[in-house]
Amino acid sequence: MMKKVLLILWLMAMPLPLWATPTSDLNQIGQGSMRWLFWELYQARFYSADGQYRAGDFPQALALRYRRNIDKEDLLDATVTEWQRLGIDWKPQWRNQLDALWPSVSNGDELVVRVEATGVSRFYFNWQSLGEVSDPAFGPAFLAIWLSPNSRDPGLTRQLKGN
């Protein structure tokens, strides 16, 4: 009996199984597209455990399917620019961690962040694990780029939140 309990606890502590996707146990809340001038930059989908948006109620996941080729440095710079614009107290090591994790993206690539209840943020690229950021302040700060009331695209924010 004790062996079964230990096995169950061990399995629960493991990352997602190889056959699972980062969102397979979550429900989609909303979706939308980010456009710049005439071009669609990416399509976004947002997920939670019960399909409802509640700030700080994790797990949550954001999936971005890119429609343009974007260099990794441009993604990193845009992330930091948005944190600064939103007045988020971000940490320079976050950029360094993302620099070590993220690739450049091409049309059709998908980048997913899944923020766990434990505060760990896991990144996936085309459904392959890239790694994680363990700082519990990172996930909410990263998601705020899309979910903050002051986001760059309030219409997209409303769509992602299911409004």
What pLDDT digit, counting tens, does each position of 112-157 carry?
A: 999 999 999 999 999 999 999 999 999 999 999 999 999 999 999 9
Using DSSP's 3-state secondary structure scheme, residue 43 falls into: strand
Tell me what pLDDT residue 163 has. Answer: 87
CATH 3.10.20.30 fits 27-160, yes or no: no
Residue 139 token pair: 């996930």
Band (pLDDT 50/70/90 cuts) for residue 13 is: very low
Query: For the segment 88-118, what is each residue's pLDDT rounded down to a tens digit?
Result: 999 999 999 999 999 999 999 999 999 999 9
Instruction: Quote the CA–CA distance of 32 and 44 in Å, as a whole number.
Output: 5
Tell me what pLDDT residue 10 has. Answer: 39
Cα→Cα distances 93→47, 60, 90, 161, 162, Å: 27, 23, 9, 29, 32
Band (pLDDT 50/70/90 cuts) for residue 1 is: low
Using DSSP's 3-state secondary structure scheme, residue 36 falls into: strand
Q: Domain-by-domain residue ranges, the chain?
A: 27-160
Instruction: Quote the CA–CA distance of 101 and 27 in Å, as a whole number.
Output: 26
Band (pLDDT 50/70/90 cuts) for residue 28 is: very high
Query: For the segment 50-99, what is each residue's pLDDT rounded down to a tens digit?
Result: 999 999 999 999 999 999 999 999 999 999 999 999 999 999 999 999 99
Contact 139, 119 (CB under 8 A): yes
- pLDDT of 14 higher than 80: no
State the pTM of this model. Answer: 0.86
The percent of the chain in helix, strand and coil, each rounded to the nearest 5, is 35, 30, 40
Tell me what pLDDT residue 38 has. Answer: 78
